[in-house]
Amino acid sequence: MNDAADAVTSGGATGRTVVITGASSGIGEAAALRLAERGATVVAVGRSPERTAAVAARLGTEPIIADFARLDDVERVARELNRLPRIDVLANNAGGVFGDPTKTVDGFEKMFQVNHLAPFLLTRLLLDKLAESRATVIQTSSSGARLTGKILRDDLQHERRFRPTVAYGTVKLENILFTTELHRRHGGDGIAAVAFHPGTVATSFGTQSESPLMRAITTNPLSRRLMGSAADGADQLVWFSSTRPGADWEPGRYYEKRRIATRVNPQVNDAELATWLWDESERLLGDRLP
């Protein structure tokens, strides 16, 4: 058994290489620092050059700067990460809440691209490395998947009638379906996929939104006092990264509070829809995929 496997068997993270996107603040930053304290080598991927560099300096690793609203950035990140000797954990944690529908330079609705299509692309471009490393792939989802998510096959990006809360719930639902389909397709290759709801956390997440309501909720001092901390939200990400899939948790599932969620959107259980979403995501990405 190698050092990384020994560490996981004993419930630690020593010797593991963990890649966390959205690591420049909030849940990603909190998880990165805690895993580094536990002995992991943590690679921080973030949008802000200044904040990502500051976090990486504390981790003792080089920062990787990327804006997931640009798929060229995602491809560059994948090239850099494929140079690593191994990746034991890929935490697809980056995301954002935005207001009115906005097209990225790649022609996709921004919330759809940043939260679903970009991490899908990154994971696909790293598949060989992840399988070789017998990696864990983590998706930071949300209870919004259950509350407002609805995948429409004829309007995947909600372009006909865009509502920020519905679009956000939908991309978080897509995170879960991506997890189940990744497990179905590549669980036998050694990849352990899992998604989780971090809880209602007081981070800067909603401040990116162009929605006045979302900004008010996430910046109001009273509402923030009722939310958990970034460290609270990072708990499950750290747990998945430093424990054993198949022994401590079940791959291919969606978790809340370290337990398989029982209250979920009905579309979570639609295996045919998960397959369709994967195939449609590949179609949209076209020749960006090998």
Q: Which residues contact 231 (CB under 8 A, 6 or more apart)?
A: 30, 34
Catalytic residue among 168, 249, 254, 278: 168
Please tell me the predicted confidence (pLDDT) of residue 7.
45
* Ranges of the chain whose pLDDT falls below 70: 1-11, 201-228
Please tell me the predicted confidence (pLDDT) of residue 12.
80
Superfamily the domain 3-288 falls into: NAD(P)-binding Rossmann-like Domain (3.40.50.720)
Please tell me the predicted confidence (pLDDT) of residue 99.
83
Active site residue 168: yes
Please tell me the predicted confidence (pLDDT) of residue 1.
37
Please tell me the predicted confidence (pLDDT) of residue 200.
78
Please tell me the predicted confidence (pLDDT) of residue 218.
52
Please tell me the predicted confidence (pLDDT) of residue 227.
53
Residue-range domain boundaries for the chain: 3-288
Which pTM value belongs to this model? 0.90
